[in-house]
Amino acid sequence: MRLLSVNIGRPRPNPWKGLSATGIDKRPVDGPVAVRAPGPKGTGEVGLAGDRVYDVKHHGGVHQAVYAYAREDLDTWEAELDRPLTNGVFGENLTSLGLDVNGALIGERWRIGSDVVLEVACARIPCGTFQGWLERDGWIKRFTQAARPGAYLRVIEPGDIHAGDPVEIVHRPDHDVTVALVFRAMTLEPDLLPRLLVAEALPPEEKELSRRRSAQKTSD
């Protein structure tokens, strides 16, 4: 398991959300990239030096510090869409190889290189910027139905990472809540939301939604 590339965003106009810019245009960079825990959501900060988000209401912050997507899933989409998909094109900071990103457990920890430890926090939910960027009508629905969302991670131990760094799973929690399960619960299958409550590392917003759904089912 290793990083194929570390990708940093280049600001570009965002006509799809009416914002001044978007950082979805991420491209591989050479050399080391510093990783550190960002501030709370709302500042635009993310976990990789030189990168940021511009839709500060919905992106960035501690629980969305780093976004990872598997090269194997990009290859699947490449075949389905019949177009080349370069590393970073889905807006991911880390393009991995040999790592089951969607099968990762919430709270699972990855050591990348010698210093950095990241923790799986939640699934990526597609938005209008993503659809506009790929220039595919109906992309949000198609991406959602496939349930291959990729993972947002929080920074546990900071440091530098490089393309080619090995990735090691150093902790797996004792539950079955995967990135893919969270995504399905948050999108197409809300009846799954109560199952997420066992995942202590889930971000507060997702936990609260799961609690409300669980309370509703109990009252019903």
pLDDT of residue 105: 98
Lowest-pLDDT range, 155-159, 181-185, 210-214? 210-214
pLDDT of residue 219: 58
pLDDT of residue 150: 98
User: pLDDT, tens digit, for every residue of 125-153?
Assistant: 999 999 999 999 999 999 999 999 999 99
Phi-psi region of 100 (alpha: psi -120 to 50; beta: other; left: phi over 0): beta
User: pLDDT, tens digit, for every residue of 57-113?
Assistant: 889 999 999 999 999 999 999 999 999 999 999 999 999 999 999 999 999 999 999
Q: What are phi and psi of 196, to 5 degrees?
A: -75, -15
Q: Would you say residue 220 has pLDDT above 60?
A: no
Q: Would you say residue 178 has pLDDT above 70?
A: yes
pLDDT of residue 215: 78
CA–CA gap between residue 193 and residue 116 (Å, rounded)? 31
pLDDT of residue 209: 87
pLDDT of residue 212: 87
CA-CA-CA-CA torsion sign (104, 197, 57, 158): negative
